Amino acid sequence: MNDDRSAIVRELSTPLAGAKGWMKFLGIMFIIQGVFTALSIVGILIAWLPIWIGVLLNQSAGALERAHASGDEAAFRMSLDKLRSYFVIQGVLMLIGIILGVLMILFYGAVIAAMISSGKFH
């Protein structure tokens, strides 16, 4: 029974195991981005986000590698949990970006409308 579960874990982890190199690459790139972001005074406030994302991707890739090699169910779950966290963080950041973009468009639209109505914009 345990060998069957290990075989299932290996089979289920095969598609993601093929992408583990890309996961590690992206993880390292996010960490580097976070380090460069931390070099600025304002960037130090948000530098933890790309570093955290990079660590999540590297942890997921490592756990996936263990799961695929040994059929370890706990490692496979950990890998999927880290990937879930990665996608949730990226989704929240995307929503924040969209909201800020809409607010900027509304703000600049209001500024331009005020300039036009005051006659300062011919």
Number of DSSP helices (H) and strands (E) in the chain, helices first: 4, 0
Task: Give residue 63's Cα distance to chain centre.
Answer: 17
**What pLDDT score does 42 carry?**
87
C-alpha to C-alpha distance for 4 and 71, rounded to whole angstroms: 9
C-alpha to C-alpha distance for 25 and 86, rounded to whole angstroms: 15
DSSP string, 4-49: HHHHHHHHHHHHHHTTHHHHHHHHHHHHHHHHHHHTSTTGGGTTHH
Q: Is 80 exposed, middle or buried (0-12, 13-18, 19+ CB in 10 A)?
A: middle
Question: pLDDT tens track of the chain, all 122 residues?
Answer: 678 888 888 898 999 889 999 999 999 999 999 999 999 888 888 999 999 999 999 999 999 999 999 999 999 999 999 999 999 999 999 999 999 999 999 999 999 999 999 887 66
Q: Domain limits of the chain?
A: 2-93
**What pLDDT score does 1 carry?**
60
> Rounded to the nearest 5°, which phi and psi values hold at 89?
-60, -45
